[in-house]
Every structure is written in C-alpha cells, then in structure tokens.
Amino acid sequence: MRSYEQSAALLARAQNALAGGVSSEFRKYNHPHAIFYSHAEGTRIYDVDGNEYLDFTLSQGPLLVGHNHPHVTKRVDDYARLGQLYAGQHILEVELAEKLQQLIPSAELMRFCLDGSEAVQTAFRLARAKTGKAKFLRFEGHYHGWLDNVAWGLSMPSVDALGSPEHPNVFPWTAGLPDRVSDEFITLPWNNLDLLRQTVAAHHHELAAIITEPVMCNNGCILPQPGFLESIRDLCTTYDITCIFDEVITGFRVGLGGAQAHFNVVPDLSIFAKAMASGYPISAIVGKRAWMDLITTAKVIHAGTMNSSNSTVAAALGTIEVLEQPGVYDHIYQLGGQLMDGLRAIGRHYNQNLLVQGMGPMLHTGFTDLKQVNDFRDVQAYDKVKLGRFVAGLHDEGIRIIGRGLWYLSAVHTTGDIDMALRVADRVMSKLDS
C-alpha cells in the first residue's frame, strides 16, 4: 500500500497559507487528498512520498508531448535567456501566429491570452460587438472556465434537479455571482438538434453566440452526433449568431487543426489553450477577420500585461514542432484505441457495466447500464461511487487518471505503458466489488 504521509503533512502546512491548501479548486479532489509532486519526466510523475505514477492526467490535458519534453524545454531555455516580457512585440509570436494560421481552418487572425477562461470571455465580447446582441447559448455539462457568466450548472444535486430539457435549471457553481449574470445565457442539453433548432428559432434575436466544446470532454467524453456541429454552424449563419468552438481541450489534442479540422466544421471564433504549449500559460482566441478586425480597429479592446511572454510562445512553437513530426498522431490514436479496447475487454471479463467512450487522444471510463452516454443528463446515471473506487484503486497501484474518469494520452506514451495500465486495471477491476 502506498503511503501519502509527506503529502498529507505538506497539505496541513499549506492550508495555513493557501486557501484550502491548493492553487486551483480541482486540485483538492485527488486521492486520498491533494497530493504534492516533486518532479515529472515523460509519462511519469513522482510525488513527495517517492511514489511513481504512470500519468494519464497530463496536467488536465496540456501535456500532449509528455512532461518536460527536451525539445520544448530547450526552446524555452534558449528564448527565455533573451528576456521574458518586453511590453512590446517579438519575432517568435509572429512565427507562432503564422503557424496557427497554417494549421487551424478558422484562424485568419488571432490574439494571445494567458488561459482558456480569459480567451472565452474575449470571444463573448467579440460576438456581442459583432452582432449587437447580448446573450449566448451554451450546453449542459460543458465547461468554459471559472468566470462569472460560465460558472453555472457544473455540479447538479441530481438528474431531477436539471428540470425539463426544454427549460433546464442551472445552479450557480459558486457563491458570489451577481444575480443578473444568469440572464446572459440560455442553456440546453447537448446533442439534441430538434431542441436546438426550436430554441434558436425562438431566441435568435437576442443570441450573440452559440458556444460548444466540439467534443464534450468535461463530462464523459462524448462525441457530437453526426450533423450536430454542422447544424450549429448553419443555424449561426442563418440567424447572424457567432459560432464559437471552445477547443481548449480538443485543440491540438485531436489533431493539428483542432476539432474544426477533424470534423470539417469551421466556426467563426475558437479558443485554443491547454495542449498548445505543454503547460506554459498561453491561449489563443482565433477567428475570422470579420470578428477579429474589431480588435484590429480597437472597437473591441483586448489587452494583458503578461500576454505572449517569451517562454510561453517558445513553448507553443516547440510543442507544435514535436507534434508535426510524421506519425505522431497515428501513434496517439493507435495507443488510445488499444487502451479503449483493452479496458472494454476487462469490463466484459469481470461482468462490470464499464462504458468506455472517446476518441483515442482522450477517453472516458464510467460505470453505467446505458449503452451510450449522449449528454449531461446521461452522465448523471454514472455510478460515481464505483468510479471513485476504480480511480482510487488505479492510483494506489501507480496509474494516475482524472478523478471523473478521463484519460489523456500523449505522444510519448508507449505500448508498454498501455500494457502496464491494462494489467493494473485488470487487477483493480477484479477486486472492485469486494
């Protein structure tokens, strides 16, 4: 049995200085409590108690080329040596912008920000300014950051609390939200095209934007129904609504051009963050000129002291250079497929109601009698207690996945890593009901 004593001691100390002992809410919910790490390399991460983990968390997604990739680290070291922040422009950010223009279908122009939450808000501002309308339509279970107008509906007491699909209830995720902020958006279940069509027909006069994760990765790992993204795109064109893809997870992870290239649906604006820069704080709001030129002309203001610092831009270029090597994505998809097939076989072998859904670069494991999970309402049917036991069992045997059942793959995972993960998953599953 692994010991987490040093982490527990550090957590107790941290709680006197850091609120809750952590720097982001989600880090509280590790097993058996917030864990303190000492170092990481490739697919392995080590905690302060000396425990080694094969990492499928990848820092909640960003580490698509693994921890501490030598090419990325060298790129960062070389460029940060020249200074870090100039309150002015530098050559590498132009090179990065040109690279994103080549790779991402909707990236006619862009601006760099620090994280996904901030870039989402920039997209809303652009959408309002472009359309002259105020509200955005969002989908249940999609996460668009932690700021006021998107911090809703993220934890629901029960499936009944969700209300009717036509008029879902949304609960604030946090205290401290202004009342009026819930008037900024309309919420709908995802993957329900009829409902989307009806709602947009009724509300288009007030809708500035529809925002979606192109793959619903923050609750399950749910693919869009065939035609769903295309229909969002068409409705937006028909009714002068801005189509926003939140590619914070899918960007670079599903392919170099993001989900928009993978599914061949081009939004007006999209947000890239996590996997773009191997954990360095940079995001991009990219989009069509008709929207982004509002920033060019300073009708819409976008700013930030820390934007496009040397190390973050160098990290992004270094990451993309690694991802552009031949065969990288084939490798990631092949390993993801091997992992999904293996997990499904283990579930069948132990007669467990394990459902594995995903795309390869990211996948979800949950326990449910449903044959397919299609939206946030279906997600409520997952057996959270059993999942908790599965995740904790994996963790105690050195396999680290995200607590809600999500696994991220990277370019540096190997077939040996997948074999190891499957061996452990088999052992954990064999004891799951005991």
Residues near ligand PLP (CB under 6 A) = 60, 115-117, 120, 143-145, 213, 218, 246, 248-249, 273
Task: Kindly give the residue spans of alpha helices, DSSP state H, lying in 66-213.
Answer: 70-80, 91-103, 116-131, 193-203
- Closest approach of Cβ 240 to ligand PLP, in Å? 24
Beta-bridge partners for 55:
400
Cα gap 401→217, rounded to integer Å:
14
Q: How far is the CB of 362 from ligand PLP (least distance, A)?
A: 11
Q: How far is the CB of 249 from ligand PLP (least distance, A)?
A: 5
Closest CB to ligand PLP: residue number: 116
- Would you give the distance in Å from CA 154 to the centre of its chain? 14
Q: Rounded to whole angstroms, how far apart are CA atoms 293 and 241?
A: 17
**Smaller CB distance to ligand PLP: residue 117 or 368?**
117
Minimum CB–partner distance for residue 274 and ligand PLP (Å): 7
CB-wise, 27 or 204, nearer to ligand PLP?
27
Nearer to ligand PLP, 47 or 213 (CB): 213
Residue 64 or 425: the one with the smaller Cβ distance to ligand PLP is 64
- Are 141 and 219 spatial neighbours (Cβ–Cβ below 8 Å)? yes
Six-digit token pair at 427? Answer: 């052992």
Residue 113 forms beta bridges with which residues? 283
Within 10 angstroms of residue 2's Cβ, the number of other Cβ atoms is 15
Is the Cβ of residue 121 or residue 192 nearer to ligand PLP in the bound state? 121
Cβ closer to ligand PLP: 221 or 346?
Answer: 221
Return all residues near 404 (Cβ < 8 A) that are at least 6 apart.
219, 364, 387
For residue 81, the one-letter residue type is R
Q: How far is the CB of 122 from ligand PLP (least distance, A)?
A: 12
> Exposed (0-12), middle (13-18) or buried (19+): which is 284, by Cβ within 10 Å?
buried
Please state the closest distance from residue 416 (CB atom) to ligand PLP, in A: 29
Q: Give, to the nearest 10 degrees, the angle between helix 70-80 and helix 310-323.
A: 150
CB of 348 to ligand PLP, least distance (A): 31
- How many CA atoms lie within 13 Å of 170's alpha carbon, on the beta-carbon side? 28
Note the maximum CA span of the chain.
Answer: 65
Minimum gap (Å) between residue 161 Cβ and ligand PLP:
23
Return the bridge partners of 52, or none.
Answer: 46
- Neighbouring CB atoms inside 10 A of 319's CB total 26
Q: Which two tokens stand for residue 129?
A: 């300014």
Closer residue to ligand PLP (CB): 218 or 260: 218
Nearer to ligand PLP, 302 or 331 (CB): 302
> Which residue, 106 or 218, is less far from ligand PLP as judged by CB?
218
Q: Quick one: 155 or 164, whose CB is closer to ligand PLP?
A: 155
Query: To which residue do tokens 């922040």 refer?
Result: 85
**C-alpha–C-alpha distance, residues 50 and 99, integer Å:** 40
DSSP state of 3: -
Q: To the nearest whole angstrom, how small is the minimum distance from the Cβ of residue 284 to ligand PLP? A: 12
Shortest reach from residue 117's CB to ligand PLP, in Å: 3
Q: At 255, which amino acid appears?
A: G
Q: Match 């339509």 to its residue by tokens.
A: 137
